[in-house]
Structure 1
Amino acid sequence: MILIAAVIGGLGTGLILPNFNLYISNSTTSKNRGRIISGYNAMWYIGEALSPIVFEPIIRKTSYSTAFFIGGIVYFCALIIPLLLLIVYLVNKKNSQQIAK
């Protein structure tokens, strides 16, 4: 089961990574493009390097299931927090446009 999940996760990552880099490069100015793509890729690989260091003690003390559960919570928070910030930004932008009128 873990092998199947790893294969599916690897395929998803392989499909997302180049497309997201393209999205980022199209969303930024040419002046900032290198800095932003480098920062994104650095965070991606720092996460890959730190995850075994962080999760190995958790697996030793508990189980793989607990480590995957904690990882799922972290990923969920990593998804929800930017979405909430985007909602707050859009609401504030809408309110400031209404005040300007």
Structure 2
Amino acid sequence: MSGLIQEKLNVDTLSILYPELDTIEVKVTVFPNSTMKFEPQFPKDSVAYDTIKIDSILHARLVDFPKVNPAIKRGIPVKTQFILPVILKAKEEK
């Protein structure tokens, strides 16, 4: 899943707008009805990034994300949340 998110964001302007931003943590919520919600996580004191712009880019890029089945607990679909570190660009070897 992390790789797919990376792939969808790699073609985007995030690395151009924020060249110093190499990894972004994304909170993924999978609801019982298989819908998904993506929320970028930023440090509380983060003023270096336009969090609203990054959030809107993230939502625009992940609109056609493949269906993910919800977690099952005792035979009932349940909501699941987890944080994925998404690498926007690989560290260059020197």
With the shorter chain as reference, the TM-score category is: under 0.3
Whose helix proportion is higher, 1 or 2?
Answer: 1
Whichever of the two has the greater Rg, that structure is 1
TM-score under structure 2 length normalisation = 0.28
Whose strand proportion is higher, 1 or 2?
Answer: 2
TM-score under structure 1 length normalisation = 0.26
